[in-house]
Structures are given as C-alpha cells and as structure tokens.
Amino acid sequence: MCGIIGINSNKPVSATIINSLKKLEYRGYDSAGIATLSSGLINEIKSEGRVDNLEKNSLVQNMEGTIGIGHVRWATHGSPNSINAHPHSSQNVSVVHNGIIENSTLLKKFLVSKGHKFKSQTDTEVIVHLITENLKTENIVSSIKKTLKSLHGSFALGIIFKDQPDLIVGARRGSPLAVGYGPNENYLGSDSYALKSMTNKITYLNDGEFCVIKKDQVEFFNEEGIKINKKVLEVSSEEKKYEKGDYKHFMAKEIEEQPTTLKNGINEYLDNSNNNINIYNFPWKTKDISSITLVGCGTAYHSCLMAKYWFEEITTMDVNVDIASEFRYRKNRFKKETLYIFVSQSGETADTYAALDLCKKNGMKTCAVVNVVESSIARESEFVLPIHCGTEIGVASTKAFLGQILILYIFSLKLGLLRNDLKKDVFIQKLKDLKELPKLVKQTLLTDNKIQTITKTFNEAKGSMFLGRGFSYPIALEGALKLKELSYVHAEGYPAGEMKHGPLALIEEGMPVVVLAPRDNHYKKTISNMQEVIARGAKVLLITNKSKDEIVSENIWETIEVESTNEDLLPFLLTIPLQKLAYYSALKKGFDIDKPRNLAKSVTVE
C-alpha cells in the first residue's frame, strides 16, 4: 500500500509534490520518489526511507518541470531500497503505483522476450514496459485500455509520458484514487486529504475507470475506453493542522487526548435534554434487523469483538465478528435481516473495503464506523457513524480505538432501547455513567510512573501474554497488539480460560503476563487463572479497578488499579495502561513510535 500524487500545472511542481507526499506518508514510509518532465525528458529521483530524505536531496530542490508524479512506498515486491522505490520509468513512460499486480511474473517473461530490460524487483515495473510496448502501436487512450486489461490484481496508477508535456493518466482498480481541480492546474491523488491544500473540488474514480488530466481539462473513461461524465464533489476545505505540540510523539498526544475525544463523541450522540441517543437518518426499521455482523482489521477488529460482547449483553440480536481478510473470501450466508458494520479508522483499509463491496453486491444493509468521513468506506456505505476523534497520526491506533468502541457501545444502547431489549431506566442509568467516562479516563491517565518502571521486564523477556475474560478479552488482544507493533517483542493476547488448553506451556520463570481482572462477573475465575500462571513462574502485572475489597491473591508482581465504573465501561479504562505500556516500552528502546518498522497507518493492499 502506497500513496500517489500527480500534478499538471504551469508552475514548477516538485515542492508541492513533496508536500503532498508528506501527507500521504501514513500509507507507507519505506521509500519515496518523484518524476517530472522537463526539456522533453523524464527526471526521476528516489530515496530510501522517509519523504524528508527525498526532500533533502539537492537534486530534488533544483528539480524542474511543471508536470510530475510522486510516490510513498510500503514494500510488497522487492525490498525497500531506492531501486525498488517508485516512480519506475522507461525512456518514454514513468509510473507510480499503489496495489499489487498478481500476474507480474508472467507479464515480465513476455516483456523480457520482447527485449525489455528490468531494473527493479517490483511488480510495478511491468506496467511501465507494457505501456511502452503498447504505445508502439496504439494511441495513449487505447494503450492504457489495453495495458489495464492485461493486469490482474489491484492498482491506482499515475503515469506521465516523455512525449506528452500536458498529460497525466490516472487509473484505478481496487485501490482508491481521486482527481482534484485547481486554477489552470489539475491533480491526482490517493485521497482528498493529500489534495486538500490545493483544492476542495474532487472527483473519485470508480473501479475500472481511468482519466486523462490536462492543465485545463480532465477526461474520464470507463474500462472500454469510452468517455464518461463524472460528478465534481465539494469536500470540506477545512484543513486542520494537527501538530505534536509539546509531546515527544503523536502517540503520546493521542493517548492524552482521549478524555477530550470521548467527550466529543458523547456530545455528538447523546441528547442530554431528552436522556436519549441521537442517531439521525438511520435508513432501516429496527424490526428489519435481527442480527449484526461486524468486520474490521487489526485494532478495528478488536473494536468489533468488543462490540460483540456489548451487543450480546444489551440486545437480543445475534452478533458475529470477522476479520475482513477472512470474511471477503469465505462463503458467507448473506441474510437480509443482518446489518453489516465495517469498522475502520482510515476508511481506506483494502480488506475492509472489499468486504463492504461484497456485502453491497449481495444487496446487504451496510454501515460504516469510521474516523475519516470522506474515506472510501464511508462513501460506499449506506449509513455512517463517525467517531469524531480528529486526525490520528500515530500508526498504533489509540484514540481511534476508544472512539470506535464508544460509538459501537452507544449504538448498542440505542438498538437495545428501540428493540425493547433494554429498559428505559437502565438505559438512562447507562447514559449517566457514560457521561462520567471522560473524567474517569483522565484520572486513569495519571497512572504513569509505575508503568514506566515495569517496561524493562517486558522488553527483556522472550515474550509476554495478555489475559482477560469476557469484556476484558478484546482488550487483552489489543494490549498485546500495541506492545508487539511498537516494541517489536512477542506478545500474545488470550482468553484467560483458554490458557490450560495449550498456551500455559509457554509460561516459564520470570515471563511477564498481564492479567486484566476488573471486578466484574469474571473476576474470581480470572484470578484463579492468574494463580495458575503465577504457580508456573510468571511475573504477573494485574490490572483491575479500584475497590474497597482487597485483592485476595499472593505473589502478584505489580498491580495497577484503574478507576471504577459500571462493568460495560471498564474496557475503556483497562485500555489506558496497556497503551502506555506499549508506548514506554518502545520509548525505552528508542524505536520510532509514530512510524514503527514495516507498518503503515492505512493498509491499502490486501
């Protein structure tokens, strides 16, 4: 998954391309590159690592050309070095690509037999040579049409041509792509966010479409190469600057912001004067929905799992959860009375988008829980529940996770009430408790010093485990994911009751184990499971909530007590020390917290 940008202007474009690439870095930061046309030649400059590296290159600073393309890469084929960085160019054509060409090996064989020479290990380079080959006999539009037909897999492409000083081609299948319109210049970009500093007039390409972007005109074509008309949309021109401020990392800021982002979410959905929840324009009758399927990836999947526990507790609906990359390839029994909910911070995750697309093609009811409201998943879903937590920059999701589970919790309460599964007085009490949540999160955020001192043990251990039951199980999974993605140490989340069926064999003297045991229905059982790991030598970090009852257990290594509230809301509070544990572990190791190795903020390939 990568980010692409293209600008056709009458002014030099390299500085603007670099600025836009910085905005696209959330899609990949292995390497970056730019190509412009000047004096009838394609100039290509690429570098390993961040866009900053590319920008520092003196050749980029003096780069000429009023038409160009740029790219940030997350490596799929070929290691993340400057040779495999995009753009890839022949003498005549230069290409940036987001996606994966699945038949690249076969195509390469064919092209090599025709005399084409390859420089990189990427799948993308076959596109360059295919276009070059097709241009020998076809004009631009038909060579593009022919090339796209030969490609299997997914792509968003930006293409410039040595002999076409006023033309960028954009094409899309699977990966998102937008066109932007400016005064005497037009743009191509992976998303509207990258284009926002230049324009708020956007057209999104649909699958199979391609476009020809000139300075003063944009033409769109369907996959048969037939011209089509597309709507120009006005997206919000508000371009909020989101800075780190005094924080060392965006992640630290995003963790600390959670009381505010939760408050914003609560204010958006709660109707204080009527003790109710406002969900406007819900397109279906609640009697037509008897089950829910939630789909997401990574942290968003953990939000789905969390929601399953709440929906099952609060409503009488059947609830299923699925990892998007599995859902999209299984033989699902689609049911008219099921509401399919797609959870995604970015709204661009390729697997989640494909799962949504599958549901739409089967005529299902689709709802998105997203942070980015202009994203592909939001645009394609019938109904959207935004999480209102503002830009999240840290690759490790924190405030978006709490934002997602907040909105899913609110939604479960609303459906519970509408279906008469939840009594009005219970509903009102739950709303009352919910309003207190931001304050409790703020207090829980104060537990800091203890976490900093215990990170050493987690960093030095071979691995660690995170255990929980019931509402705490999805949080255990999330805690383990945070630690591994930031600190690069092995960490596994498990249902505490499952340990004896195998994973207990991993426990050895000194192994750190986080046990989430809030004083809920599962407390006693979880404490027993905790004893089982302590007996085998584990160093247990117990995370529970404050209570007047003493903890009846011995040999606990460390205990952290979060604030107390009703059982439903404890998962929010339990998450906080786990986020901090991951943060401080990575900080101690000196790792790049906001951009961990091998990852990207938005995963736009499958």
Cα separation, 377 vs 343, whole angstroms: 9
* 349 lies in the binding site for ligand AGP (CB under 6 A): yes
User: Would you say 26 or 220 has its CB closer to ligand AGP?
Assistant: 26
Cα separation, 254 vs 393, whole angstroms: 8
* 352 lies in the binding site for ligand AGP (CB under 6 A): yes
Name, in order, each residue with C-beta under 8 angstroms of 245's C-beta and a sequence gap of 6 or more.
Answer: 253
* 345 lies in the binding site for ligand AGP (CB under 6 A): yes
Cβ of residue 345: shortest distance to ligand AGP, in angstroms?
3
Cβ of residue 346: shortest distance to ligand AGP, in angstroms?
3
- Residue whose token pair is 């965006």: 250
Tell me the CA distances in angstroms from 19 to 70, 179, 192, 592, one per residue in order: 10, 17, 14, 21
Among 298, 468, 512, 577, binds ligand AGP (CB under 6 A): 298
User: Would you say 450 or 597 has its CB closer to ligand AGP?
Assistant: 597
Cβ of residue 397: shortest distance to ligand AGP, in angstroms?
4
* 300 lies in the binding site for ligand AGP (CB under 6 A): yes
* Cβ count within 10 A of residue 196: 21
User: Would you say 124 or 602 has its CB closer to ligand AGP?
Assistant: 602
* 170 lies in the binding site for ligand AGP (CB under 6 A): no
Provide the Cα torsion 418, 421, 423, 428; round to 10°: -60
Q: With CB under 6 A, what is the number of residues at the site for ligand AGP?
A: 15
Shortest Cβ contact with ligand AGP: which residue? 298
* 297 lies in the binding site for ligand AGP (CB under 6 A): yes
Map the footprint of ligand AGP across residues 460-499, applying CB under 6 A: 485
Cβ of residue 578: shortest distance to ligand AGP, in angstroms?
12
Cα separation, 352 vs 377, whole angstroms: 8
Cβ of residue 297: shortest distance to ligand AGP, in angstroms?
4
* 397 lies in the binding site for ligand AGP (CB under 6 A): yes
* 35 lies in the binding site for ligand AGP (CB under 6 A): no
Cα separation, 117 vs 549, whole angstroms: 74
Active site residue 2: yes
Ramachandran angles phi, psi of 344, nearest 5°: -160, 125
Active site residue 215: no
Token code pair at residue 394: 């840290």
* 444 lies in the binding site for ligand AGP (CB under 6 A): no
Token code pair at residue 591: 């790792």
- Residue 351's nearest CA partner among 304, 396, 385 is 304
* 396 lies in the binding site for ligand AGP (CB under 6 A): yes
Contact stretch for ligand AGP (CB under 6 A) within 33-41, 62-70, 389-397, 583-591: 389-397
* 325 lies in the binding site for ligand AGP (CB under 6 A): no
* 579 lies in the binding site for ligand AGP (CB under 6 A): no
Tell me the CA distances in angstroms from 183 to 187, 215, 422, one per residue in order: 11, 9, 55
> What string of H, E and C letters represents the secondary structure of 317-380?
CEEEEEEHHHHCCCCCCCCCCEEEEEEECCCCCHHHHHHHHHHHHCCCEEEEEECCCCCHHHHH
| Number of residues that make up the chain | 606
* 575 lies in the binding site for ligand AGP (CB under 6 A): no
* 585 lies in the binding site for ligand AGP (CB under 6 A): no
The contact set with ligand AGP (CB under 6 A) reads: 297-300, 344-346, 349, 352, 395-397, 485, 602-603
Q: Catalytic residues, which ones?
A: 2, 601
